[in-house]
Structure 1
Amino acid sequence: MKITTIYAAKILGYITQRDRLVTAGEIVEHVGISYQYALKIMNEMKRAGLLQSEQGCRGGYRLGNEKEDVSAYDVVALFEYRSGERDKERPMDDPFSRFMEDRRQKEAEALKAMPIREIYKGKI
């Protein structure tokens, strides 16, 4: 797993535990990464609809409009399964490839059932 995926999950975990806008400064302090790296990750999550931001002195970040809760799959899919990577891994017609594809599908279903909010509350 890429370190960026872990940082993205930490950022989302922090945001989901607050009922308010969260500043980039708070996020950087909590996650322990550089401001620029945090902005890069958060911008990617904004483009994917996982986050929204409000500009200005009272601005900050919150979950995206359509996202009542973000799943572990949302994060992994964004940072691990970049577009096109999955196509290159198309299974060949052999038992091992079918086994690996079945494992990936089961993993995806398990990740979809894990809300980031619950992971960071310690409920999973």
Structure 2
Amino acid sequence: MKYTKATNYALHIMAYIISREDSANLSLQPLASHMNISHTYLSKVLTQLVKAGLIQSTPGMNGGYCLRKKKEDISFWDVTQAIEGSASLFTCEMGEEKCRLQQVMRDAESCMESYLKDKKLYDVVREFPSQGTLEK
């Protein structure tokens, strides 16, 4: 199983925003330069995070992005779902109504979902502060 590059960026963006001491808006330009990705691609990732209610966007001269949800409450699952959606990773294509193989895969997904819901980005950033600096 492999998550998209957008999920990788989204997790790093969220870790960075969570790790910041101030609550000032973070503008697109410096973030895109620091992450070495295009403004267009970064904007698409940020839009998905806004739609998920994790961050908010403020237009204008002093605008930018900041947390919308309490930083201690944001889980890895929240960010992953914002980017990847909620589709199942495995679907039986054999046409069996009650596929036992699919049930095993769903159970595995459920375990992963529970784990990622329990893991908060804030706890990881706090434990390993350099992880929130967007270092590569």
TM-score, length basis structure 2: 0.75
Q: How well do the aligned residues superpose, as a CA RMSD in angstroms? A: 2.4
| Counterpart position of 1:24 | 28
Work out the percentage of aligned pairs sharing the same amino acid: 27
**AA at the equivalent of 1:89:** T
| Counterpart position of 1:53 | 57
| Counterpart position of 2:118 | 113
**AA at the equivalent of 2:38:** S
The match for 1:41 among 40, 45, 48 is 45
**In structure 2, C-alpha distance between the alignment counterparts of 1:52 and 1:8, rounded to whole Å:** 14
Gaps of 5+ in 2: 130-136
Deviations 1:7-60 (A, max 9, x none): 111111111111222111222123221111111111121112111012222222
**AA at the equivalent of 1:75:** V
Deviation at 1:92, TM superposition (A): 5.1
Structure 1 or 2, whichever has the larger Rg, is: 2
Distance 1:96 1:117, change over 3 A: same
Distance 1:81 1:53, change over 3 A: closer
Greater relative contact order: 1 or 2 (C-alpha under 8 angstroms, separation 6 or more)?
Answer: 2
TM-score, length basis structure 1: 0.82
**In structure 1, C-alpha distance between the alignment counterparts of 2:17 and 2:97, rounded to whole Å:** 41
